[in-house]
Structure 1
Amino acid sequence: MKRTTAKSPKERTTPASADPGNVTPPKRSVEDVNNQLYREAAQRILQAIEAGTSIWQKPWIAPSSHRRPFNAHTGLNYLGMNRVLLMTEMMANDWTDTRFMTYKQVQALAQDMKRSGTPDDELPYVKKGAQSITIYKVGRQEIKRPRVDSSGKPVLDQAGQPIVDKALGRTFLQTYRVFNANNIANLPPLPEVERKPTWEVHAEIEALVKKLGVPVSYEPISQAFYQPGLDRITVPERSQYKDSVTDGVVVYSAAAKHYSVLLHECCHATGHESRLKREMSGGRGSAEYAREELIAETASTYLMCELGLESDEVINQHASYLEGWAKLIKDDPRALFQAFSAAEKAADWFMQRHERQLAEAPQVPPQPAPSLVQGFGIPQQQVGGIGQGLVAVAQMPSSAVRINGLRPAGELLDAAVAGLNSGSLGPA
């Protein structure tokens, strides 16, 4: 993983210009920089797969109140590539705290707390030697063109000034570095809530499967599949799944195994032409097939995490998947960004919160904004733009904390970058 190490305030770095042997490299194009960043991100995923610490190979453990990585300063969820990279980093380090912040955000939080009267020795700071994690945010070049009339003369406004039209040009990647809460001192602990009863989680999944509107056939077979032409899911009968028991303790229930398979096929079904309209015609062994499997498995992993279902190294049963994904990643690093963006959309569709579903749903009167959780400073907030998220952390009378992951409507960029802009970075 690409990281940097936090420096002590007393440390100083010698400017590059002070090195007489320093030679300024030739300026690279935006395309060259983009390609390098895509390759670096893809290489990080490949390294995680080889180490066995990717989200498809290792169970996800996180507090029930916060099931996914989010920015503790803005309260916004990380999406797309950033979500996968941060989850992978948490798995590699056995972190359970899902909060991340940039160095400047930690400093800003400390300044706010100091103004509120917090003693200096209780202010948050990045621990010495802590390593940051590189994540990505998409930008788009702004092109300014003077408006001209049919004769080619500048068009002026009422004040006699030339009118300039602005347009969005090509996209480009930016990198940011964040620190996990485990590497930030004096952060308040994450509030815990009781996990939903198992029966309640299962009932919620069954209701969502029903809302998906795809017939599910349970048959005494050893495989599961989705048929795009028939828009039908076929899975093994529930009785075919058995609990995994270690030392007399059920570590992976038969029900969780069943739902992990069912959710995977449901995520395939989101790609139907009547829903998200993904390319699903590729045969086994093709790049298209590998991409669709990566989308479905990533989306179902998200759902397992969000719904609080226990997970296991299920994907290890399908080593060929990992091999196919590795080849896909090496051949086309940008395909990884596209797949993770598509996985976000697939998971959102299943959870009935895709932007298209929200736009078509009956309008509900807005609810009163919740109060802040003391020490978090995370207000309910609406964020515009692409692929951005909203997290409302509410202080309930029972002191329970509820997390609502929402996505505003609006899609400005193509699928290759739509999942990158989490909007959760703030100042670098």
Structure 2
Amino acid sequence: MSEAEEFLKVARAARDAATLLAPMPRAPKDAALRAVADALEAATEEIVAANAVDVDRARESGTSEAMIDRLRLDAGRIAKIAEAVRQVADLPDPVGEVVRGSTLPNGLELRQVRVPLGVIGIIYEGRPNVTVDAAALCLKSGNGVLLRGSSSAYSSNTALVRVMQEALAATEVPADAVQLVPGQTRESVKHLMRARGLVDVLIPRGGASLINSVVEESTVPVIETGVGNCHVYVDADADIDTALKILVNAKAQRPSVCNAAETVLVHAAIADAFVPRALTALKDAGVTVHGDERVRAYGADVVAATEEDFTTEYLSLDIAAAVVDSLDDAVAHIRRYGSAHTDAIVTRSQQAARRFVATVDSAAVAVNASTRFTDGGEFGFGAEIGISTQKLHARGPMGLPELTSTKWIYTGEGHVRG
């Protein structure tokens, strides 16, 4: 059987399973998720052995230790993955929720209710925990899922999906609802991206190159997630101590995630007071500053920023920096270079805050708070599939409700239209 035929087989199986899963009430889905969590813990030794194959292959190919750490699974990490599945089981089920409804003047009862999207394809890089997280969220929201992780984690992902399918086989949820896309070649990704009619939506999780490739090449509708060129703007009316605390947290608390700050913009009126202290604080946190000419005037350690620096999602202890002459200039900079993920203002001026919020066109805008809070868990939504930076269907952290669509139901008593 060819790779294309193998893909069609699993895609059709996921489609059939999604049809069975969609009308299921909450109880059997929650029971299935808890069975998956138990099975993952019981299969820890098997999963760790499969993961060791991926880790050894990565090390032999010269992969950095930082990336190997993202790939590695051990008993502790598997226990956390299982616990995350149990947390998804505890979340409210969005399917069947009435979004709005009314009785029309002619007596028709009208309701808009949440329904599953159908079959969701997930294309992702690196960490094998995404395999389980994505499957759990899709199952809870009544969707089938086709998982295409990176080839570097293929052995791990194969073991994880096998364990989940075996666990589901003993429950009311069809095991075929969770599928691993067969193959490790570029062509296997293309099969998924072109499966319009079998796959309802694709969600890419990874770097800009992956997301751009999926958006440009896919015939299946795509929800863009993840790329975060996030900004912190320090306004003329900012409290300097507050601004320093927010900036260091936004950049250095966890630099490898999409909601970490990648650029700091400083109003010229506060630059003399703020920039020297900011350079010291960032240096103490191990951050390299890539600054424009005005920022470089404040410190010999500042690296000259290029145009590319202001467009870069570093995901490291690096940050671009510039001095701007006004709030409007800061907004213009964000609109030009940003990724519409999360942008923050630090200010004591309500007028400045209101203007920034009104004019910055991003999925999340923070006022006197770190960009690091843009997260489903931090927002109180529970687990998330990713953070959408687009405007259609979903924007911002995508939890369970964002993995649903809606249908309109109207009920009459023999109503006909005149």
TM-score scaled to structure 1, two decimals?
Answer: 0.27
More helix by share: 2
TM-score between both structures, scaled by the size of structure 2:
0.27
Structure having greater relative contact order (Cα 8 Å, sep ≥ 6): 1
